[in-house]
Structure 1
Amino acid sequence: MLTVDFDRLGLRPGERVLDLGCGAGRHAFEMYRRGADVIAFDQDPDELATVREWFAAMRDAGEVPDGAEADVKEGDALALPFADGEFDRVVAAEILEHVPADIAAIEELVRVTRPGGTVALTVPRWLPEAICWKLSRAYHDTPGGHIRIYTSEELEAKTTAAGLVLEGRDHVHGLHAPYWWLKCAVGVDDADHPLVRAYHRLLVWEIEKQPAVLRAAGRVLDPLVGKSLVLYLRKPAAVRPRDAG
Protein backbone atom coordinates (compact mmCIF):
# COMPACT_ATOMS: atom_id res chain seq x y z
CA MET A 1 0.00 0.00 0.00
CA LEU A 2 1.75 3.12 -1.26
CA THR A 3 1.05 6.59 0.09
CA VAL A 4 3.39 8.52 -2.23
CA ASP A 5 2.76 9.01 -5.95
CA PHE A 6 6.22 8.63 -7.47
CA ASP A 7 5.20 10.22 -10.74
CA ARG A 8 4.30 13.39 -8.83
CA LEU A 9 7.58 13.14 -6.95
CA GLY A 10 9.38 13.10 -10.32
CA LEU A 11 11.32 9.89 -9.67
CA ARG A 12 13.47 8.65 -12.57
CA PRO A 13 15.69 5.57 -12.99
CA GLY A 14 19.24 6.02 -11.80
CA GLU A 15 18.46 8.72 -9.26
CA ARG A 16 19.73 8.43 -5.70
CA VAL A 17 16.81 8.37 -3.27
CA LEU A 18 16.33 8.20 0.48
CA ASP A 19 13.42 6.50 2.23
CA LEU A 20 13.64 8.21 5.63
CA GLY A 21 12.02 6.14 8.37
CA CYS A 22 11.45 3.31 5.91
CA GLY A 23 9.80 0.92 8.36
CA ALA A 24 8.93 -2.30 6.54
CA GLY A 25 10.18 -0.80 3.28
CA ARG A 26 7.04 -0.41 1.15
CA HIS A 27 8.18 2.82 -0.54
CA ALA A 28 11.81 1.74 -0.78
CA PHE A 29 10.77 -1.42 -2.65
CA GLU A 30 8.70 0.52 -5.20
CA MET A 31 11.50 3.03 -5.83
CA TYR A 32 13.91 0.13 -6.33
CA ARG A 33 11.50 -1.48 -8.81
CA ARG A 34 11.51 1.79 -10.72
CA GLY A 35 15.27 1.68 -11.11
CA ALA A 36 16.38 4.15 -8.45
CA ASP A 37 19.46 3.74 -6.24
CA VAL A 38 17.77 3.46 -2.85
CA ILE A 39 18.90 3.95 0.72
CA ALA A 40 16.34 2.65 3.23
CA PHE A 41 17.00 4.49 6.49
CA ASP A 42 15.56 3.68 9.92
CA GLN A 43 16.53 3.37 13.57
CA ASP A 44 15.09 -0.16 13.92
CA PRO A 45 17.76 -2.77 13.08
CA ASP A 46 15.24 -5.61 12.91
CA GLU A 47 13.14 -3.79 10.30
CA LEU A 48 16.27 -2.97 8.31
CA ALA A 49 17.43 -6.60 8.36
CA THR A 50 14.12 -7.64 6.82
CA VAL A 51 14.25 -4.84 4.23
CA ARG A 52 17.77 -5.93 3.23
CA GLU A 53 16.51 -9.50 2.74
CA TRP A 54 13.69 -8.27 0.52
CA PHE A 55 16.09 -6.17 -1.55
CA ALA A 56 18.16 -9.30 -2.17
CA ALA A 57 15.07 -11.33 -3.02
CA MET A 58 13.93 -8.69 -5.51
CA ARG A 59 17.34 -8.74 -7.21
CA ASP A 60 17.35 -12.55 -7.37
CA ALA A 61 13.82 -12.59 -8.83
CA GLY A 62 14.75 -10.11 -11.56
CA GLU A 63 12.23 -7.53 -10.32
CA VAL A 64 14.59 -4.56 -10.65
CA PRO A 65 16.30 -2.98 -13.67
CA ASP A 66 19.95 -3.66 -14.35
CA GLY A 67 22.19 -1.19 -12.57
CA ALA A 68 19.76 -0.27 -9.81
CA GLU A 69 21.19 -0.53 -6.32
CA ALA A 70 19.67 -0.67 -2.84
CA ASP A 71 21.04 -0.72 0.69
CA VAL A 72 19.97 -0.01 4.26
CA LYS A 73 21.37 2.38 6.84
CA GLU A 74 20.63 2.61 10.56
CA GLY A 75 20.67 5.95 12.32
CA ASP A 76 18.95 9.00 13.74
CA ALA A 77 16.71 11.26 11.63
CA LEU A 78 18.09 14.25 13.54
CA ALA A 79 21.67 13.55 12.43
CA LEU A 80 21.59 11.94 9.01
CA PRO A 81 24.93 10.34 8.08
CA PHE A 82 24.84 11.73 4.54
CA ALA A 83 26.46 14.60 2.70
CA ASP A 84 24.71 17.84 1.85
CA GLY A 85 22.65 17.48 -1.32
CA GLU A 86 23.32 13.75 -1.64
CA PHE A 87 19.82 12.70 -2.75
CA ASP A 88 17.70 13.57 -5.76
CA ARG A 89 14.47 12.52 -4.03
CA VAL A 90 13.57 12.04 -0.37
CA VAL A 91 10.50 10.28 1.02
CA ALA A 92 9.49 10.62 4.67
CA ALA A 93 6.24 8.69 5.08
CA GLU A 94 4.40 8.66 8.42
CA ILE A 95 7.47 9.54 10.49
CA LEU A 96 7.26 13.18 11.62
CA GLU A 97 4.28 12.53 13.91
CA HIS A 98 6.61 10.32 15.98
CA VAL A 99 9.51 12.79 16.26
CA PRO A 100 9.58 15.32 19.13
CA ALA A 101 12.08 17.58 17.32
CA ASP A 102 10.21 17.57 14.02
CA ILE A 103 11.65 20.87 12.79
CA ALA A 104 15.19 19.53 13.21
CA ALA A 105 14.21 16.40 11.28
CA ILE A 106 12.76 18.51 8.46
CA GLU A 107 15.91 20.63 8.34
CA GLU A 108 18.03 17.48 8.06
CA LEU A 109 16.05 16.03 5.18
CA VAL A 110 16.25 19.40 3.41
CA ARG A 111 20.02 19.42 3.92
CA VAL A 112 20.54 16.05 2.23
CA THR A 113 18.26 16.88 -0.72
CA ARG A 114 20.09 18.33 -3.72
CA PRO A 115 19.10 21.78 -4.99
CA GLY A 116 16.27 21.20 -7.45
CA GLY A 117 15.44 17.84 -5.84
CA THR A 118 12.02 16.88 -4.52
CA VAL A 119 10.60 15.65 -1.23
CA ALA A 120 7.40 13.79 -0.34
CA LEU A 121 6.22 14.10 3.26
CA THR A 122 3.23 12.20 4.59
CA VAL A 123 1.57 12.41 8.01
CA PRO A 124 -1.81 11.36 9.40
CA ARG A 125 -4.46 13.87 8.35
CA TRP A 126 -5.89 16.05 11.12
CA LEU A 127 -9.57 15.03 11.15
CA PRO A 128 -9.22 11.23 10.91
CA GLU A 129 -6.36 11.33 13.41
CA ALA A 130 -8.25 13.55 15.87
CA ILE A 131 -11.17 11.11 15.82
CA CYS A 132 -8.82 8.21 16.58
CA TRP A 133 -7.33 10.13 19.53
CA LYS A 134 -10.82 10.85 20.88
CA LEU A 135 -11.91 7.24 20.58
CA SER A 136 -8.83 5.60 22.07
CA ARG A 137 -5.94 6.79 24.19
CA ALA A 138 -4.17 3.49 23.50
CA TYR A 139 -4.09 4.36 19.79
CA HIS A 140 -1.40 7.01 20.31
CA ASP A 141 -0.23 6.94 23.94
CA THR A 142 2.36 4.19 23.53
CA PRO A 143 6.18 4.21 23.45
CA GLY A 144 7.20 5.55 20.07
CA GLY A 145 3.61 6.46 19.23
CA HIS A 146 2.10 9.56 17.69
CA ILE A 147 2.87 12.69 19.70
CA ARG A 148 1.13 15.35 17.59
CA ILE A 149 -1.65 15.86 15.08
CA TYR A 150 -0.70 18.07 12.14
CA THR A 151 -2.94 20.45 10.33
CA SER A 152 -1.95 20.94 6.71
CA GLU A 153 -1.23 24.58 7.53
CA GLU A 154 1.24 23.65 10.28
CA LEU A 155 3.14 21.15 8.16
CA GLU A 156 3.27 23.49 5.19
CA ALA A 157 4.55 26.32 7.39
CA LYS A 158 7.30 24.17 8.91
CA THR A 159 8.48 22.83 5.56
CA THR A 160 8.49 26.18 3.80
CA ALA A 161 10.32 27.77 6.75
CA ALA A 162 13.00 25.10 6.26
CA GLY A 163 13.47 26.21 2.66
CA LEU A 164 11.17 23.93 0.64
CA VAL A 165 8.62 25.09 -1.92
CA LEU A 166 5.19 23.45 -1.87
CA GLU A 167 4.26 22.01 -5.27
CA GLY A 168 1.16 20.01 -4.39
CA ARG A 169 -0.80 18.19 -1.72
CA ASP A 170 -3.01 15.14 -1.62
CA HIS A 171 -5.20 13.11 0.73
CA VAL A 172 -5.13 9.33 0.38
CA HIS A 173 -6.35 6.09 1.99
CA GLY A 174 -9.94 7.23 2.51
CA LEU A 175 -11.08 3.63 3.01
CA HIS A 176 -8.60 3.20 5.83
CA ALA A 177 -9.86 5.97 8.12
CA PRO A 178 -13.13 4.15 9.06
CA TYR A 179 -11.13 0.99 9.70
CA TRP A 180 -9.01 2.77 12.30
CA TRP A 181 -12.05 4.43 13.86
CA LEU A 182 -13.57 0.98 14.23
CA LYS A 183 -10.40 -0.43 15.78
CA CYS A 184 -10.22 2.48 18.22
CA ALA A 185 -13.88 2.02 19.16
CA VAL A 186 -13.64 -1.72 19.91
CA GLY A 187 -10.03 -1.71 21.19
CA VAL A 188 -6.93 -1.21 19.08
CA ASP A 189 -5.53 -4.60 20.10
CA ASP A 190 -8.73 -6.54 19.40
CA ALA A 191 -7.82 -7.88 15.97
CA ASP A 192 -10.30 -10.75 16.37
CA HIS A 193 -13.39 -8.58 16.67
CA PRO A 194 -15.77 -9.72 13.87
CA LEU A 195 -16.24 -6.22 12.46
CA VAL A 196 -12.50 -5.52 12.49
CA ARG A 197 -11.76 -8.82 10.76
CA ALA A 198 -14.41 -8.18 8.12
CA TYR A 199 -13.13 -4.68 7.38
CA HIS A 200 -9.56 -5.94 7.27
CA ARG A 201 -10.55 -8.46 4.59
CA LEU A 202 -12.04 -5.58 2.61
CA LEU A 203 -8.76 -3.63 2.80
CA VAL A 204 -6.74 -6.69 1.78
CA TRP A 205 -9.05 -7.05 -1.23
CA GLU A 206 -8.50 -3.38 -2.05
CA ILE A 207 -4.70 -3.65 -1.83
CA GLU A 208 -4.28 -6.97 -3.64
CA LYS A 209 -6.99 -6.82 -6.31
CA GLN A 210 -7.79 -3.11 -6.65
CA PRO A 211 -11.41 -3.75 -7.69
CA ALA A 212 -13.14 -0.96 -9.59
CA VAL A 213 -15.83 -0.51 -6.94
CA LEU A 214 -13.26 0.17 -4.21
CA ARG A 215 -11.20 2.43 -6.45
CA ALA A 216 -14.35 4.45 -7.04
CA ALA A 217 -15.10 4.52 -3.30
CA GLY A 218 -11.56 5.73 -2.65
CA ARG A 219 -11.92 8.59 -5.11
CA VAL A 220 -14.97 9.75 -3.16
CA LEU A 221 -13.56 9.22 0.33
CA ASP A 222 -9.96 10.38 -0.17
CA PRO A 223 -10.69 14.14 -0.26
CA LEU A 224 -13.21 13.81 2.58
CA VAL A 225 -11.55 11.50 5.12
CA GLY A 226 -8.28 10.36 3.54
CA LYS A 227 -6.19 8.94 6.39
CA SER A 228 -2.93 10.52 5.17
CA LEU A 229 -1.90 14.00 4.08
CA VAL A 230 0.84 14.07 1.44
CA LEU A 231 2.90 17.14 0.59
CA TYR A 232 5.04 17.29 -2.55
CA LEU A 233 7.84 19.83 -2.19
CA ARG A 234 10.91 21.02 -4.04
CA LYS A 235 14.21 22.35 -2.78
CA PRO A 236 14.97 25.46 -4.84
CA ALA A 237 17.84 25.17 -7.29
CA ALA A 238 20.96 27.06 -6.32
CA VAL A 239 21.04 30.56 -7.73
CA ARG A 240 24.05 31.13 -9.98
CA PRO A 241 25.93 34.39 -9.35
CA ARG A 242 25.94 36.95 -12.15
CA ASP A 243 28.90 36.91 -14.46
CA ALA A 244 31.34 39.67 -13.65
CA GLY A 245 30.95 42.71 -15.81
Structure 2
Amino acid sequence: MAALRVRRRRWIGVRLRFERRGRHSFEAYRRGADVIAFDMDAAGLADVDTLLQAMGEAGEAPASAKAQVVVGDALALPYPDGEFDCVIASEILEHIPQDDAAIAELIRVLKPGGTLAVTVPRWLPERICWLLSDEYHANEGGHIRIYKADQLQAKLVRGGLTFTHSHHAHALHSPFWWLKCAVGVEKPDHPAVKAYHQLLVWDMMSRPALTRVTEAALNPLVGKSVALYFEKPISNDSPV
Protein backbone atom coordinates (compact mmCIF):
# COMPACT_ATOMS: atom_id res chain seq x y z
CA MET A 1 0.00 0.00 0.00
CA ALA A 2 1.04 3.60 -0.41
CA ALA A 3 3.00 5.28 2.35
CA LEU A 4 0.95 6.39 5.32
CA ARG A 5 1.33 9.95 6.48
CA VAL A 6 0.35 9.87 10.11
CA ARG A 7 1.09 12.32 12.90
CA ARG A 8 -0.75 11.70 16.16
CA ARG A 9 -3.81 10.55 14.30
CA ARG A 10 -6.25 7.92 15.52
CA TRP A 11 -6.02 4.94 13.23
CA ILE A 12 -7.68 1.54 12.99
CA GLY A 13 -6.63 -1.46 10.95
CA VAL A 14 -9.40 -4.02 10.40
CA ARG A 15 -8.52 -7.58 9.44
CA LEU A 16 -10.24 -10.93 9.46
CA ARG A 17 -7.04 -12.89 9.00
CA PHE A 18 -3.54 -11.75 9.78
CA GLU A 19 -1.75 -13.29 6.80
CA ARG A 20 0.71 -10.44 7.00
CA ARG A 21 0.54 -10.30 10.80
CA GLY A 22 -0.43 -6.70 11.36
CA ARG A 23 2.20 -5.04 9.23
CA HIS A 24 0.05 -1.96 8.53
CA SER A 25 -0.48 -1.49 12.26
CA PHE A 26 3.24 -1.77 12.91
CA GLU A 27 4.09 0.84 10.28
CA ALA A 28 1.43 3.29 11.46
CA TYR A 29 2.61 2.89 15.05
CA ARG A 30 6.22 3.41 13.97
CA ARG A 31 5.17 6.68 12.32
CA GLY A 32 3.49 8.00 15.45
CA ALA A 33 -0.18 7.11 15.07
CA ASP A 34 -2.54 5.98 17.82
CA VAL A 35 -3.26 2.49 16.48
CA ILE A 36 -5.98 -0.08 17.03
CA ALA A 37 -5.41 -3.45 15.36
CA PHE A 38 -8.89 -4.97 15.10
CA ASP A 39 -9.66 -8.57 14.18
CA MET A 40 -11.86 -11.54 15.05
CA ASP A 41 -8.81 -13.82 15.34
CA ALA A 42 -7.78 -13.62 19.00
CA ALA A 43 -4.70 -15.81 18.54
CA GLY A 44 -3.43 -13.72 15.64
CA LEU A 45 -4.04 -10.52 17.57
CA ALA A 46 -2.08 -11.86 20.54
CA ASP A 47 0.98 -12.18 18.30
CA VAL A 48 0.42 -8.67 16.95
CA ASP A 49 0.09 -7.30 20.47
CA THR A 50 3.37 -8.92 21.49
CA LEU A 51 5.18 -7.25 18.60
CA LEU A 52 3.56 -3.87 19.21
CA GLN A 53 4.63 -3.95 22.85
CA ALA A 54 8.14 -4.98 21.85
CA MET A 55 8.31 -2.05 19.42
CA GLY A 56 7.31 0.35 22.17
CA GLU A 57 9.83 -1.05 24.63
CA ALA A 58 12.58 -0.89 21.99
CA GLY A 59 11.82 2.73 21.17
CA GLU A 60 10.81 1.91 17.61
CA ALA A 61 7.74 4.16 17.91
CA PRO A 62 7.45 7.69 19.30
CA ALA A 63 6.69 7.81 23.02
CA SER A 64 3.52 9.78 22.25
CA ALA A 65 2.09 7.01 20.03
CA LYS A 66 -0.29 4.39 21.40
CA ALA A 67 -1.14 0.90 20.17
CA GLN A 68 -3.67 -1.69 21.22
CA VAL A 69 -5.43 -4.75 19.83
CA VAL A 70 -9.17 -5.39 19.95
CA VAL A 71 -11.03 -8.62 19.17
CA GLY A 72 -14.37 -8.04 17.51
CA ASP A 73 -16.71 -8.25 14.55
CA ALA A 74 -16.21 -6.07 11.47
CA LEU A 75 -20.01 -5.95 11.11
CA ALA A 76 -20.39 -4.23 14.48
CA LEU A 77 -17.36 -2.05 15.19
CA PRO A 78 -17.53 -0.97 18.86
CA TYR A 79 -16.79 2.69 18.17
CA PRO A 80 -18.86 5.86 17.77
CA ASP A 81 -19.45 7.59 14.47
CA GLY A 82 -16.46 9.49 13.10
CA GLU A 83 -13.97 8.06 15.59
CA PHE A 84 -10.97 7.53 13.31
CA ASP A 85 -8.83 9.73 11.07
CA CYS A 86 -7.71 6.72 9.04
CA VAL A 87 -9.18 3.26 8.48
CA ILE A 88 -7.43 0.46 6.62
CA ALA A 89 -9.44 -2.63 5.71
CA SER A 90 -6.81 -5.00 4.38
CA GLU A 91 -7.96 -8.17 2.61
CA ILE A 92 -11.22 -8.61 4.55
CA LEU A 93 -14.17 -7.86 2.28
CA GLU A 94 -13.62 -10.93 0.10
CA HIS A 95 -14.28 -13.06 3.22
CA ILE A 96 -17.53 -11.44 4.39
CA PRO A 97 -20.93 -12.52 3.04
CA GLN A 98 -22.49 -9.20 4.19
CA ASP A 99 -19.86 -6.99 2.58
CA ASP A 100 -22.23 -4.04 2.21
CA ALA A 101 -22.81 -4.07 5.98
CA ALA A 102 -19.05 -4.19 6.61
CA ILE A 103 -18.47 -1.29 4.22
CA ALA A 104 -21.16 0.73 6.01
CA GLU A 105 -19.37 0.18 9.32
CA LEU A 106 -16.00 1.22 7.91
CA ILE A 107 -17.53 4.43 6.59
CA ARG A 108 -19.47 5.08 9.80
CA VAL A 109 -16.42 5.11 12.07
CA LEU A 110 -14.36 7.26 9.68
CA LYS A 111 -14.11 10.94 10.57
CA PRO A 112 -15.25 13.48 7.95
CA GLY A 113 -12.10 14.47 6.11
CA GLY A 114 -10.53 11.09 6.97
CA THR A 115 -9.02 8.47 4.69
CA LEU A 116 -10.19 4.92 4.05
CA ALA A 117 -7.90 2.42 2.32
CA VAL A 118 -9.33 -0.91 1.17
CA THR A 119 -7.35 -3.77 -0.32
CA VAL A 120 -8.75 -6.93 -1.88
CA PRO A 121 -7.32 -9.61 -4.14
CA ARG A 122 -7.14 -8.46 -7.74
CA TRP A 123 -9.56 -10.07 -10.19
CA LEU A 124 -7.16 -11.82 -12.58
CA PRO A 125 -4.69 -13.38 -10.10
CA GLU A 126 -7.62 -14.37 -7.88
CA ARG A 127 -9.51 -15.93 -10.77
CA ILE A 128 -6.49 -18.09 -11.58
CA CYS A 129 -6.35 -19.26 -7.96
CA TRP A 130 -10.01 -20.24 -8.11
CA LEU A 131 -9.48 -22.16 -11.35
CA LEU A 132 -6.52 -24.04 -9.90
CA SER A 133 -8.08 -24.99 -6.57
CA ASP A 134 -11.56 -25.29 -5.08
CA GLU A 135 -9.89 -25.71 -1.70
CA TYR A 136 -8.52 -22.17 -1.96
CA HIS A 137 -11.95 -20.58 -1.65
CA ALA A 138 -14.51 -23.26 -0.77
CA ASN A 139 -13.75 -23.42 2.96
CA GLU A 140 -14.86 -21.74 6.15
CA GLY A 141 -13.52 -18.21 6.22
CA GLY A 142 -12.24 -18.48 2.65
CA HIS A 143 -12.63 -16.10 -0.25
CA ILE A 144 -16.30 -16.10 -1.17
CA ARG A 145 -16.19 -13.58 -4.01
CA ILE A 146 -13.88 -12.04 -6.57
CA TYR A 147 -14.10 -8.27 -6.88
CA LYS A 148 -13.57 -6.16 -9.92
CA ALA A 149 -11.97 -2.93 -8.79
CA ASP A 150 -14.54 -0.68 -10.44
CA GLN A 151 -17.42 -2.58 -8.83
CA LEU A 152 -15.89 -2.29 -5.35
CA GLN A 153 -15.10 1.36 -5.95
CA ALA A 154 -18.73 1.98 -6.87
CA LYS A 155 -19.92 0.37 -3.62
CA LEU A 156 -17.84 2.75 -1.51
CA VAL A 157 -18.76 5.80 -3.57
CA ARG A 158 -22.43 4.92 -3.11
CA GLY A 159 -21.71 4.89 0.61
CA GLY A 160 -20.80 8.57 0.42
CA LEU A 161 -17.02 8.48 -0.02
CA THR A 162 -14.93 10.23 -2.65
CA PHE A 163 -12.53 8.02 -4.59
CA THR A 164 -9.01 9.45 -4.81
CA HIS A 165 -6.68 6.86 -6.35
CA SER A 166 -5.71 3.19 -6.60
CA HIS A 167 -2.74 0.98 -7.32
CA HIS A 168 -1.73 -2.68 -7.53
CA ALA A 169 0.73 -4.42 -5.23
CA HIS A 170 2.44 -7.70 -4.34
CA ALA A 171 3.11 -9.07 -7.82
CA LEU A 172 5.67 -11.51 -6.40
CA HIS A 173 2.93 -13.06 -4.28
CA SER A 174 0.75 -14.05 -7.24
CA PRO A 175 2.99 -16.90 -8.47
CA PHE A 176 3.34 -18.08 -4.86
CA TRP A 177 -0.41 -18.50 -4.51
CA TRP A 178 -0.73 -20.08 -7.94
CA LEU A 179 1.90 -22.58 -6.86
CA LYS A 180 0.11 -23.26 -3.58
CA CYS A 181 -3.17 -23.80 -5.38
CA ALA A 182 -1.53 -26.14 -7.89
CA VAL A 183 0.09 -28.40 -5.27
CA GLY A 184 -2.63 -28.04 -2.61
CA VAL A 185 -3.22 -25.11 -0.28
CA GLU A 186 -2.96 -27.37 2.78
CA LYS A 187 0.56 -28.49 1.84
CA PRO A 188 2.78 -25.70 3.24
CA ASP A 189 5.70 -28.13 3.57
CA HIS A 190 5.85 -28.88 -0.15
CA PRO A 191 9.50 -28.16 -1.13
CA ALA A 192 8.59 -25.68 -3.87
CA VAL A 193 6.12 -23.84 -1.63
CA LYS A 194 8.60 -23.66 1.25
CA ALA A 195 11.34 -22.36 -1.01
CA TYR A 196 9.12 -19.64 -2.51
CA HIS A 197 7.86 -18.65 0.93
CA GLN A 198 11.44 -18.25 2.16
CA LEU A 199 12.11 -16.04 -0.85
CA LEU A 200 9.14 -13.83 0.00
CA VAL A 201 10.17 -13.53 3.65
CA TRP A 202 13.71 -12.64 2.61
CA ASP A 203 12.39 -10.06 0.17
CA MET A 204 10.12 -8.42 2.75
CA MET A 205 12.86 -8.30 5.36
CA SER A 206 15.78 -7.30 3.12
CA ARG A 207 13.98 -5.32 0.40
CA PRO A 208 16.78 -5.71 -2.18
CA ALA A 209 16.73 -3.30 -5.08
CA LEU A 210 16.42 -6.04 -7.71
CA THR A 211 13.18 -7.52 -6.37
CA ARG A 212 11.75 -4.07 -5.58
CA VAL A 213 12.28 -2.94 -9.17
CA THR A 214 11.01 -6.25 -10.56
CA GLU A 215 7.85 -6.17 -8.46
CA ALA A 216 7.14 -2.54 -9.30
CA ALA A 217 7.34 -3.42 -12.99
CA LEU A 218 5.06 -6.45 -12.60
CA ASN A 219 2.47 -4.89 -10.26
CA PRO A 220 0.36 -3.32 -13.05
CA LEU A 221 0.20 -6.73 -14.76
CA VAL A 222 -0.10 -9.35 -12.02
CA GLY A 223 -0.18 -7.52 -8.69
CA LYS A 224 -1.94 -9.85 -6.23
CA SER A 225 -3.83 -7.01 -4.52
CA VAL A 226 -5.58 -3.86 -5.59
CA ALA A 227 -5.61 -0.96 -3.12
CA LEU A 228 -8.36 1.67 -3.33
CA TYR A 229 -8.22 4.98 -1.47
CA PHE A 230 -11.14 7.19 -0.45
CA GLU A 231 -11.87 10.31 1.54
CA LYS A 232 -14.98 11.07 3.57
CA PRO A 233 -16.33 14.49 2.56
CA ILE A 234 -16.74 17.22 5.16
CA SER A 235 -20.26 18.59 5.20
CA ASN A 236 -21.64 21.66 6.94
CA ASP A 237 -23.20 19.50 9.66
CA SER A 238 -20.12 17.31 10.20
CA PRO A 239 -18.90 17.28 13.81
CA VAL A 240 -15.78 19.32 14.43
TM-score bin, normalised by smaller chain: over 0.9
Give the C-alpha shift of residue 77 in structure 1. 0.8
- The correspondence for 1:17, drawn from 11, 19, 43, is 11
Structure 2: how far apart are the matches of 1:145 and 1:216? 31
Specify the code of the residue in structure 2 equivalent to 1:19.
G
User: Secondary structure at the residue paired with 2:54?
Assistant: helix
Structure 2: how far apart are the matches of 1:202 and 1:43? 29
- The correspondence for 2:86, drawn from 85, 89, 95, is 89
Unaligned runs of 5+ in 1: none
Give the C-alpha shift of residue 29 in structure 1. 1.0
- The correspondence for 1:135, drawn from 129, 132, 137, is 132
Give the C-alpha shift of residue 195 in structure 1. 2.4
Specify the code of the residue in structure 2 equivalent to 1:153.
D
Q: Which has the larger displacement, 46-55 or 109-118? A: 46-55
In the alignment, what sits opposite 1:75? Answer: 72
In the alignment, what sits opposite 1:118? Answer: 115
Structure 2: how far apart are the matches of 1:203 and 1:73? 28
In the alignment, what sits opposite 2:185? Answer: 188
What is the alpha-carbon root mean square deviation over aligned residues?
Answer: 1.5
Q: Which has the larger displacement, 25-34 or 232-241? A: 232-241
Specify the code of the residue in structure 2 equivalent to 1:176.
H
User: Secondary structure at the residue paired with 1:121?
Assistant: strand
**Contact 1:183–1:190 (8 Å) recurs in 2:** yes
Unaligned runs of 5+ in 2: none
In the alignment, what sits opposite 1:153? Answer: 150
For normalisation by structure 1, the TM-score amounts to 0.92
Aligned counterparts, 1:12-51, within 5 A: 12-21=6-15, 23=18, 24-51=21-48
Larger radius of gyration between Structure 1 and Structure 2: 1
- The correspondence for 1:62, drawn from 59, 62, 76, is 59
Q: Which has the larger displacement, 127-136 or 39-48? A: 39-48
Specify the code of the residue in structure 1 equivalent to 2:26.
F
Give the C-alpha shift of residue 240 in structure 1. 5.8
1:98 counterpart = 2:92: no
- Flag the 1:45–1:199 CA change in 2: closer, same or farther, 3 A: closer
Structure 1: how far apart are the matches of 2:37 and 2:196? 31
Structure 2: how far apart are the matches of 1:89 and 1:41? 13
Aligned residues with identical type, % of pairs: 55
Structure 2: how far apart are the matches of 1:234 and 1:148? 25
**Contact 1:116–1:238 (8 Å) recurs in 2:** no
- Flag the 1:238–1:127 CA change in 2: closer, same or farther, 3 A: same
Q: How many residues were matched structurally?
A: 235
In the alignment, what sits opposite 1:175? Answer: 172
Specify the code of the residue in structure 1 equivalent to 2:44.
E
**Contact 2:15–2:89 (8 Å) recurs in 1:** yes
- The correspondence for 1:214, drawn from 207, 211, 214, is 211
Give the C-alpha shift of residue 211 in structure 1. 1.5
